[in-house]
Structure formats: structure tokens, C-alpha cells
């Protein structure tokens, strides 16, 4: 199956001048993790939700809420985007797409034709393509033959900040949560952490304020 058969043609894009706050809202509203950055129709870079998290003020920042808001509103995404983007042609096949994704820590490939951005294909799109091609052979494939036998895990009382650091270093987006046994009690995703981020910042600001009062 060729990339042009599975790619998304109506690509949501941004300009290099778009602010971090605008890009963050756009990705949240459209429920996407990858945002191609274009100048005209030419691909200039790629920004991901992880790039935005890394470019955002740290939870340990000494900035006030107003200063953090101003920083997010005035910092352009060109300061954190990937410029040397791995791309693919619409005429390439899905095996080539999977090979390129597996070679690097990213989850999408912008599709370029004639020097212009014409689509985007994600790891999920490629997985759907392989599953469709594997039927009926896929009916006889066992999970145990393909699963990772020693996955990274967390425990319920571990800190979210440690979970985020582990995901970031291992280039993963999901962490099984285990308790005694070990027994699987849940799973934590990068999206869960993104949704918790505003609350974490409020807790951190409150903790800093209370600490200052006790001094």
C-alpha cells in the first residue's frame, strides 16, 4: 500500500511565527500531536506536543503566572521546532514509511511532493495499513511474539515528574502502572500528563507561596 492511500490530505499547519500558546491550543482543540510548520507551501519544520512541553516554563520556575503567560504568548514555535524533518513521498510504500519512523524518535512523516507539503502520515496510519494487509494472516499472529517483555513501568505513588522524565528519556508515550504482585492497575500516557500540567503548576505555585510565608 502506498503512502498516498493512507495519508491525511487536509493537514493542519502553523507558521514559524505562531506562538507556543497558540500552537498548544490548536493541538489540544484538534487533538493532534504533530504540527507541520510551513512557509507558504514549503515545509519549514515540525513541532510536536513534546517540543511544546519542553519549551514551556518549568514547574520549578520563579516566573509569576503573568510572566509565564507572556512568555508562552510571545515565544514563536520556530524556537523549538525541528528543522531537519524526515519526510516521505506519496509514491513510497508503507514499508518505507515504517522503516523511517523506526529509525528515529518521532511519530509522523510529512508527505512532500514537488517540494510542497501535500499530506501527513502517522505511526497509527501505518499500523492500520499493516493490519489491513495482514488479514487473514494476522488472525494467526500472537501478541506474545511481538510484545516488549521488559517494559518501563511506574507505581501508583511515584511522582508524575519522574514518569514524565522516564517517558522523555525513553521516547515512549505510555507507562503501565503496577502494584504489588506485580499487578497491572492502570496506564499513564503523555496525554494524561499534559492534562495534569495546569493543575501541577497551580500546586507548585501554591507550595512556593506557602514556603515563602513560612520563612
Q: Which residues of 42-79 are buried (b: 16+ CB within 10 A; e: fewer)?
A: ebbbbbbbbbbbebbbebeeeeeeeebeebbeebbbbe
- Comparing CA positions, the residue from 136, 130, 73, 71 lying closest to residue 98 is 130
pLDDT of the residue at 181:
73
Task: Please choose, from the candidates 49, 43, 56, the residue with its C-alpha nearest in 3D space to the C-alpha of residue 13.
Answer: 43
Q: Which fold is adopted by the domain 148-215? A: CBS-domain (3.10.580)
Distance CA(206)–CA(115), nearest Å, equals 50
Q: How far apart are CA 102 and CA 134, in angstroms?
A: 19
User: Hey, which bits of the chain come out as E strands?
Assistant: 34-39, 42-48, 108-113, 116-122, 174-179, 183-189
Q: Which residues of the chain have pLDDT under 70?
A: 59-61, 134-140, 197-215
Instruction: Tell me whether domains 1-143 and 148-215 share a fold.
Output: yes
Q: What residue spans define the domains of the chain?
A: 1-143, 148-215
Cis peptide, bond prior to residue 182, ω within 30 of zero: yes
Residue 147 confidence (pLDDT): 80
The architecture (CATH level 2) of 1-143 comes to Roll (3.10)
The total of other beta-carbon atoms located within 10 Å of residue 37's CB is 25
* pLDDT tens per residue, range 159-211: 888 888 888 788 888 899 999 777 899 999 887 877 776 655 554 444 443 44
pLDDT of residue 198: 60
The residue among 200, 195, 198, 155 whose CA lies nearest residue 178 is: 155
- What pLDDT shows up at residue 202? 53
Amino acid at each position: 500500500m502506498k503512502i498516498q492511500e493512507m495519508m491525511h490530505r487536509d493537514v493542519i499547519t502553523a507558521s514559524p511565527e505562531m506562538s507556543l500558546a497558540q500552537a498548544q491550543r490548536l493541538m489540544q482543540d484538534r487533538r493532534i500531536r504533530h504540527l507541520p510548520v510551513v512557509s507558504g507551501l514549503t515545509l519549514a519544520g515540525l513541532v510536536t506536543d513534546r517540543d511544546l512541553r519542553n519549551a514551556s516554563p518549568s514547574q520549578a520556575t520563579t516566573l509569576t503566572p503573568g510572566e509565564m503567560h507572556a512568555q508562552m504568548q510571545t515565544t514563536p514555535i520556530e524556537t523549538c521546532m525541528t528543522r531537519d524533518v524526515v519526510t516521505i513521498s506519496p509514491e513510497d510504500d508503507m514499508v518505507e514509511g515504517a522503516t523511517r519512523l523506526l529509525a528515529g524518535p518521532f511519530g509522523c512523516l510529512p508527505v512532500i511532493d514537488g517540494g510542497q507539503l501535500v499530506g501527513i502520515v502517522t505511526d497509527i496510519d501505518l499500523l492500520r495499513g499493516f493490519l489491513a494487509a495482514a488479514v487473514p494472516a494476522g488472525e494467526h499472529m500472537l501478541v506474545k511474539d511481538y510484545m516488549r517483555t521488559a517494559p518501563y513501568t511506574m507505581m501508583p505513588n511515584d511522582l508524575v515528574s519522574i514518569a514524565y522524565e522516564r517517558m522523555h528519556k525513553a521516547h515512549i508515550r505510555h507507562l503501565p502502572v503496577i502494584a504489588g504482585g506485580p499487578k497491572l492497575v492502570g496506564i499513564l500516557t503523555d496525554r494524561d500528563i499534559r492534562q495534569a500540567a495546569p493543575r501541577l503548576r497551580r500546586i507548585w505555585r501554591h507550595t512556593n507561596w506557602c514556603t515563602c510565608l513560612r520563612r
